[in-house]
């Protein structure tokens, strides 16, 4: 299929893209599953409590077994005492299950989301940035001109080097490359922007 490509002057041309990625069947059930797994794996699972054998202190018996009238106790580190170990508490990140997300699921979910963005006219393709843009003010004017103030910008390496610094301090804009974005990023931002070269890189990776 062919979709529009813009340059910074607003002039339109067209670019040929793969139907497999840009006109894919939109599978909402798969997208929901991928987002659930992605979010579950992003969560910081660092809660940890000390078990009885990890609490510092003496292990000697606190009083005699018989003759005191009290219950039988051993170490003060037992879970029954304040300051003792915690029975059955969380043991850190390694104890939590990681949700497996295979390559096929990733590719299909991203193709579905990109196709949906095109359908809703929320995907733009720009020509590669040939000149360096240093000033945030200048880049902000470009974003306003094309109404992409809330967007995920996926750039090729050359374009990223030329414009990344000018985009760094603009709110609600994320700059990344083909290797470092997820389905969650596409959902989070209203619009998605590619350069011509980053589109070709995407096709090589996800086709």
The pTM for the full model equals 0.76
pLDDT tops 90 at residue 126: yes
- Rounded Cα gap, residues 87 and 33, in angstroms: 34
pLDDT tens digits, 60-119: 999 999 999 999 999 999 999 999 999 998 887 666 677 888 889 999 999 999 999 999
Judged against a pLDDT cut of 90, whether residue 38 lies above it is answered with no
Structure tokens at 105: 């699921």
Distance CA 11, CA 5 (A): 8
Task: Give the C-alpha separation, 153 to 125, whole Å.
Answer: 10
Q: Which bin fits 108, alpha (ψ -120 to 50), beta or left (φ > 0)? A: alpha
């Amino acid at each position: 299929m062919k979709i529009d490509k813009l340059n910074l002057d607003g002039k339109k041309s067209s670019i040929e893209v793969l139907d497999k990625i840009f006109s894919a069947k939109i599978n909402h059930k798969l997208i929901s599953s991928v987002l659930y797994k992605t979010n579950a794996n992003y969560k910081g699972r660092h809660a940890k409590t000390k078990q009885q054998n990890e609490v510092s202190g003496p292990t000697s018996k606190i009083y005699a077994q018989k003759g005191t009238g009290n219950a039988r106790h051993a170490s003060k580190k037992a879970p029954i005492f304040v300051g003792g170990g915690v029975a059955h508490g969380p043991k850190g990140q390694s104890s939590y299950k990681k949700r497996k997300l295979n390559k096929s699921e990733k590719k299909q979910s991203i193709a579905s989301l990109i196709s949906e963005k095109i359908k809703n006219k929320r995907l733009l393709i720009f020509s590669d940035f040939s000149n360096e843009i240093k000033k945030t003010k200048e880049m902000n004017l470009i974003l306003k001109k094309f109404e992409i103030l809330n967007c995920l910008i996926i750039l090729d390496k050359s374009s990223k080097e030329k414009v990344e610094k000018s985009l760094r301090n603009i709110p609600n804009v994320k700059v990344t490359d083909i290797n470092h974005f997820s389905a969650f990023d596409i959902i989070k931002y209203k619009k998605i922007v590619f350069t011509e070269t980053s589109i070709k890189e995407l096709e090589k990776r996800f086709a």
